[in-house]
Each structure stands twice: as C-alpha cells, then as structure tokens.
Chain A
Amino acid sequence: MSATPASVRTPVREHVPSVLVAALSAAFGVGLLQITGFIAAAVRQDDVTGSSAMVALLLQIVAIVFIVIAVYVAAIITANTFATVVAGRARSIALLRLLGSTAGSLRQQVATEGLFVGLAGTVIGSLVGTGIAFGVGRVAVALGIVPENSYGYLDPVLILPVVGVILTTWTASWVGSRRVLTVTPLQALGGAEELSREEVVQRPGRYVLALVLVILGAGFLLLGLLIGLVNPVGVLVGLIGGIVSFTGIVFAADRVMPPALRLVGRLLGASAPARLAAENALRHPQRSSRATIGLVIGVTLLMTFGTAMTTWQQIILAAQQANPEVYQGIDQMLNATIAIFSILIGFSGVIAAVGLVNNLSLSVLQRTRELGLLRALGFSVQQLRRMILSESAQLVVTAVVLGIVLGGFYGWAGAQSMLGAINGSPGFVFPSIPWIILAVVIVGGAVLTAIASWAPTRRATRVSPITALSVE
C-alpha cells in the first residue's frame, strides 16, 4: 500500500469522463440556444407578419425541451460515474475514516469535486457551443440562407443551460457519493478481498411505486389510443401515459436491467470468456443498470420520434390518397422535421454512450488484479480481448434492443392516438419502422461496442500475470 491515500492525491484523471459529459451537455445547451437566438434575430429583421416574437419563443421552448432531456441523461450518467469512482476509492476512504475523518466530510469532499467538474465542464462546453453556433451562423450568412443580423451571442437565456449543468452535475455527484457513507474504517484493515461488491439495496417502496407508474401509464396509453380513434386529443392522454410509464421503468432500472442483461449474456455463448463476461456485466447490478438505462433513454427517445414520424407519414399518406387537396406538400415538411428532431434527440444518445464507455473502462480498471489472475491461470490475450468485447456487447445490445422495443411502441401509440381520427385516416395502422433511424441506432450500437471495449482492452492486455501474486 502506498503511503499517500488516493483521495489525497489530485484525482483529476478519474473525473475526465464527468467533465466530458458536463461539457457535452453545456455545449449542446449553449450551442442550441445560440443558434435559435441567431435564427430568431434573422426572423425579426424580416418580420412581415408581426409574429416574430411568437416564433422566437416557440423556438426557444422546443430547444429547452431537448436541452432538459440531454441534461437529465447527463445527470444520470454523472451520478453513476461518481458512484463508480467512490467504489474504486473504498480502500483509501476506509483509511481516512480509520485515521479519524467523518463520513460526512469525506462525502462533502467528493461533492466538492463534483462542483468543480461541473464548473470546468460548463466553461469548456459553453465556449465550444458558442464557437460552433458562431461558425454555423457565419456559414449560413455566407451561403445567403439567413441575412446578416445583429445577434450578439450574449443572450441572458444562456444562463439557463450554464447554471443548469453546473447544478445538476453538483447534485449528481452528491447523489452518486452516497456510497461513501457505507464504507467502514475496518475495510482499510481487511485483506485483499474485493471491497466494491455493491450490496443490492432492497427498496420495496420504490419498486411498488414503479409498478404503479407502469400500470397507470399503460392505462393512459390505452385510453389515449381509444380516444384517438375519435379525437386527436387522445395524444395528450397518451403523452401522459408515456411519461408516467417510462418514469416507472427508469425507477425500476435495477430490477428491469439485470434480467435483460442476463438473457442477452446467455445468448452470447457458453465459452469461458463469454460466460465470465456475462457474470462481469452483472457484478454490480446497480452500476450496470444505471449505465445502460442512460442509453435505453436515448434510444427510446430516438425510436419514439422516428416511429411516431413514420407512422404519421403512413397515416397521412393514406389520408392524402383519400383527400389529395387537403394534404398538399406535407411530405417535405415531415421529412425535415424527422431529420432535425432526430439529430437533437440523438445528442442525448451520445451523452449516454459516453457514460457507457466510462462505466466499462472503470470496471476493467478496478479489477486489474483479477485480470492478472486470469492471465496467470492461462487466459490468453485473445481470450481477454473477447471477454471485454462480450461485456461491452452485452451492455450495448441490451440497452439498444430495449430502447428499440419501447420506443417503437411509444412512437406508434403517439402517432395512432394523434391521427387515428383525422380526415381520411384508415383507423388502426400497424407501427411503421423508421428504417434510417433504426439503421443509425444499430450501426451506432456496433461502433459503441467497439469503442467502449477498445481502451479497457488495451489496459487489460498490458496487465502482467504477476499482479495477481502481489499482495496489496
């Protein structure tokens, strides 16, 4: 054991992923508001209908909805990362407790690191976001898409994402550092046993609540579908049902994800690397659940919009054939909306992907000793590589499949309950699959699997088998 406990050294490297997540969401928030501000300024200059104030407000509201989604995903990821970092520091936290630190002050210390992570990420992200918006604005003016205008890139509304990201990162680090309280001073004296085995906290109240939310939400969705057959107001009822039931699923993530992960793990085969990988992915059920639920949220949102839009398109095309004159020129508008919304939603998926990469790297980093053992027992470098790739695939496949199924259902329910009653609608339609988005999600998932396993594999294959023999 080294003389300096890890938490006394500056733990900068551990926080790089969290800074990245905060920077991404700040860049997204600031950049999106800058671009909408720029567009609003352009519209104002060319105000013929006198409705530019309304347009600006609507743009901002749409932008803020997407920013809130991205920041929410980022907060889940950051809380998860901090919990993992704390688990890795259990030994040095135990040592400090042994020497007389209180658990509260140690947790405070971790949360303070979270505040600095939020500050650093937001500064970097705001600068990058503004830079991108400025570049987009210049290009748009140069191409003559929008006229030169006096937008100043210092809109007061930018305070929202800036303060929002700092506060959510800080809060997320506080939530994630709860594990500090469970570390006992005795752990500093313990043997070389793995300390980070998270006890699955039983929270029956939470699961009951989750179940109630899912059932209630499903009821609303069904009601929305029925109302939708006679009146488009059904979509609002369905929207409530969607939000309520999905919140239930997120609440119950550590109940829903492990069985799903286990099932996918079994499908990956019965070789030693695949079996070990399946066990590894479930070693910390809560950690894996939180890392994958972020990606589930991203994919679900993307697929919800995609399926809703293409199902809409299908209903409208059917209606168009019945009454061609009512629905002229609506196709291009729909296509453009699908593209823009998908990109905006996709950003939350990117943030979730960072979280997953991070989860896998930390989990490999924290079991160097075990990797050394496997090497000593005769695990080849190739087998080690396959094991980590399987772990990565298991996490990604589970999240992507679950997201596709959930999103497909929500999207179809949304479109059906909104347009079931429109002029010329065929009544019930089957969900239509957004092929392009589906392809992007699947290819993205495959790329993510490879990226997530790349750095951990490099580290793992460098572990010498002697590590297993050393005594900590």
Chain B
Amino acid sequence: MDTSPIETAALVARVQNLSKSYGKEGTRVDALRDVTLGIRRGEFTAIMGPSGSGKSTLMHIMAGLDAPTSGRVWLGDAEIGAMSDAQLTVLRRRRVGFVFQSFNLVPTLDVEGNLLLPFELDGRRPTPSERAWIDELETALGLSGRLRHRPHELSGGQQQRVAIARALATRPELVFADEPTGNLDSRTGREVLALLQNASRQYGQSIAMVTHDPIAASYADRVLFLADGRVAQDSGRMEAAEISSYMLSMEVPA
C-alpha cells in the first residue's frame, strides 16, 4: 500500500509490515504476516475475517494492548510500537476508546460514574464543553433516565449504549469495537450498529470494528477482509449478502 504523506494525513491509524507470532520456534503460530494498512479518519471501518484470521490480534496491536513481533504501528502521527507501558496507558486513556463484546462496564459504578471514569483516570473533571458533549451523548443514547443505575440493573442493549457513550465521551481519535453485537439479540444489535454508524456520520468519529458478522459489517463505510494473517480484500460499503458470499468464497479450499 502506498503511504505517501498526503495519504497518511488522512489516516487515523496505520501499520506497516506488521507481523505477530506466538510461541517458540517449531510450535510457532503466525497471527499476522507482513500486514500494511491504514484506517481512514472519520470513517467507520469493519475488519472482517473468519476465526483465527488475525483480526483480533490486529486490533490489540493497533490499540496499544499488545506489542508487534515486527513492523511499525502509528496512531495519528505517534508511533506506538515503541512506546513504554506508561505511555501506552496515557494513550489509551486520552486518544482511544473501546467497545467490547461483553460490555465491560465497571460493576461498582453507576452509569454516570462509568461515563466519567476516563476523565477521573486522567485526574480531572470534564470541561464545560466536554460536559455538554456528555449530556448530548446521554440524550442521544437514551440514557438520561438511567444515570443512577448500576450495570446489573440494565439490559444488555442498555449496557452496550453506556459503553458506547463512555467510548465517545473523551472524543478519542479512534474507537475500537470488538464484536460489539456478539452478546446482543439481532434487533438490539442493529440499534447498536446504527448508533455507531451515526457517531461516525454525524460527529465524524473514526471507528474500527472487528467482527465476523456480515450484517454488522454491512453498516460500515469500508470493509477489510483478513485471512490467515493477511489482508485478503479491501472494499467500500458492501451489502450483507455480498459480504456473506465473499466470506464463503474465502472458506473454499484453494
């Protein structure tokens, strides 16, 4: 892939010649093999692939949760491949948001407490404009009436809305979503996907979503297919049926 200066400016995150392998010589598993790609700013990107294709590993490394075996990783213009744990911690706190499959709210904090957690970790209160943004998110995601509820008092769909609001609250450069609909029924799942799509269209939020669900991927502006640790296909918006048939064709033994 070409990484000329003009194009890198439009990329919110990118990896270059990225490889990741686990285990020692002999029992070595290559999760990623020489991957080069970029996530475009303001876009909703889906990273698709069957189990074991390396999509989760790719997300972990791009989010600074795991270290590459070789290759380089950038978030914005910061190279994160070589950062220390402390630097990565601050990076995750300020510049990255997460939405997980199992929601992962802090069970001891109420909805408001979960939303403010990223600011508290930074040792500060939200500024007036951030506060207004949080209020707007609470309204948009239908959480206003539930701010004092604990996670166990909410349904799965409501918990995932809180998680999305938490991920968007700090206006991070990039939100990573890991199978965000995996634990939800299909109707609630679609609502959540629409919310993510809306966050990208309305607020210009960059989102990278890892999924193996063709319907989820059909909400994205761009779909990247991974297979055996390599990028197999990079395409624009696709219908769920197209994605399904492409996935099936990848399964056919070569």
* Shortest 4 CB-CB contacts between residues of A and residues of B: A378-B93, A279-B108, A272-B120, A192-B102
Nearest CB in chain B to that of A275: its residue: B120
Nearest CB in chain B to that of A469: its residue: B178
B37 CB-CB contact with A under 8 Å:
no
Chain A 258-274 near chain B by CB (<8 Å), digits 1 or 0: 00000000000001100
CB-CB under 8 A for A191 and B152, given A271-B120, A466-B60, A469-B60: no
Q: Which chain B residues lie closer than 8 Å to A472 at the CB level?
A: 102
Q: Which chain A residues lie closer than 8 Å to B182 at the CB level?
A: 471
Nearest CB in chain B to that of A375: its residue: B89
The reply to whether B86 and A380 contact each other, CB–CB distance below 8 Å, is yes
| Residues of chain A whose beta carbon lies under 8 Å from any beta carbon of chain B | 191-194, 197, 271-272, 275-276, 279-280, 282-283, 369-370, 373-381, 383, 464-466, 468-469, 471-472
Nearest CB in chain A to that of B178: its residue: A469
B66 CB-CB contact with A under 8 Å:
yes
Q: Which chain A residues lie closer than 8 Å to B94 at the CB level?
A: 378
- Tell me the chain B residues, 140-183 only, with Cβ under 8 Å from chain A: 152, 156, 178-179, 182-183
B211 CB-CB contact with A under 8 Å:
no
Contact of A378 among B100, B118, B183 (CB under 8 A): B118
* Residue among B60, B63, B91, B120 facing the most chain A CB atoms (10 A cut-off): B120
The reply to whether A191 and B123 contact each other, CB–CB distance below 8 Å, is no
Q: Which chain A residues lie closer than 8 Å to B91 at the CB level?
A: 378
Shortest Cβ distance from B68 into chain A, in angstroms? 14
Question: 28 A-B contacts, Cβ less than 8 Å apart?
Answer: A191-B102, A192-B183, A193-B102, A193-B152, A194-B152, A271-B120, A275-B120, A279-B108, A279-B109, A280-B108, A283-B108, A370-B104, A373-B104, A376-B98, A377-B93, A377-B98, A377-B118, A378-B91, A378-B94, A378-B121, A378-B122, A465-B65, A465-B92, A466-B60, A466-B66, A469-B101, A469-B178, A471-B101
Q: Which chain B residues lie closer than 8 Å to A271 at the CB level?
A: 120, 123
B107 CB-CB contact with A under 8 Å:
yes
The reply to whether A377 and B108 contact each other, CB–CB distance below 8 Å, is no
- Tell me the chain B residues, 86-121 only, with Cβ under 8 Å from chain A: 86, 89-94, 98, 100-102, 104, 106-109, 117-118, 120-121
Tell me the bound Cα distance from A443 to B117 in angstroms.
Answer: 34
Tell me the bound Cα distance from A375 to B121 in angstroms.
Answer: 10
Q: Which chain A residues lie closer than 8 Å to B63 at the CB level?
A: 376
The reply to whether B120 and A464 contact each other, CB–CB distance below 8 Å, is no
B218 CB-CB contact with A under 8 Å:
no
CB-CB under 8 A for A197 and B107, given A192-B102, A378-B94: yes
Q: Which chain B residues lie closer than 8 Å to A376 at the CB level?
A: 63, 65, 92, 98
B25 CB-CB contact with A under 8 Å:
no
The reply to whether A191 and B183 contact each other, CB–CB distance below 8 Å, is yes
Tell me the bound Cα distance from A143 to B85 in angstroms.
Answer: 59
Chain B 47-79 near chain A by CB (<8 Å), digits 1 or 0: 000000000100010010110000000000000
How large, as a class, is the contact surface on chain B? 20 to 34
Tell me the bound Cα distance from A265 to B117 in angstroms.
Answer: 18
Tell me the bound Cα distance from A471 to B118 in angstroms.
Answer: 23
Q: Which chain B residues lie closer than 8 Å to A194 at the CB level?
A: 107, 152
Nearest CB in chain A to that of B166: its residue: A377
Tell me the bound Cα distance from A197 to B183 in angstroms.
Answer: 20
Tell me the bound Cα distance from A24 to B39 in angstroms.
Answer: 60
CB-CB under 8 A for A378 and B90, given A271-B120, A283-B108, A466-B65: yes
Shortest Cβ distance from B52 into chain A, in angstroms? 15
* Residue among A271, A279, A373 facing the most chain B CB atoms (10 A cut-off): A373
The reply to whether A383 and B121 contact each other, CB–CB distance below 8 Å, is yes
Shortest Cβ distance from A383 into chain B, in angstroms? 7
Q: Which chain B residues lie closer than 8 Å to A191 at the CB level?
A: 102, 156, 183
The reply to whether A374 and B106 contact each other, CB–CB distance below 8 Å, is yes
CB-CB under 8 A for A377 and B65, given A276-B108, A468-B104: no
- Tell me the chain B residues, 176-192 only, with Cβ under 8 Å from chain A: 178-179, 182-183
Tell me the bound Cα distance from A466 to B210 in angstroms.
Answer: 14
The reply to whether B89 and A373 contact each other, CB–CB distance below 8 Å, is no
Q: Which chain B residues lie closer than 8 Å to A378 at the CB level?
A: 89-94, 118, 121-122
Contact of B100 among A279, A383, A468 (CB under 8 A): A468
Q: Which chain B residues lie closer than 8 Å to A282 at the CB level?
A: 108
Q: Which chain A residues lie closer than 8 Å to B100 at the CB level?
A: 373, 468-469
The reply to whether B107 and A377 contact each other, CB–CB distance below 8 Å, is no
Tell me the bound Cα distance from A191 to B185 in angstroms.
Answer: 13
Shortest Cβ distance from A31 into chain B, in angstroms? 42
Shortest Cβ distance from B172 into chain A, in angstroms? 10
Q: Which chain A residues lie closer than 8 Å to B89 at the CB level?
A: 375, 378-381
Q: Which chain A residues lie closer than 8 Å to B104 at the CB level?
A: 369-370, 373, 468
Shortest Cβ distance from A335 into chain B, in angstroms? 48
The reply to whether B152 and A197 contact each other, CB–CB distance below 8 Å, is yes
Chain B 120-131 near chain A by CB (<8 Å), digits 1 or 0: 111100000000
Shortest Cβ distance from A200 into chain B, in angstroms? 14
Nearest CB in chain A to that of B210: its residue: A469
Q: Which chain A residues lie closer than 8 Å to B66 at the CB level?
A: 464, 466
Tell me the bound Cα distance from A377 to B97 in angstroms.
Answer: 7
* Residue among B89, B90, B120 facing the most chain A CB atoms (10 A cut-off): B89
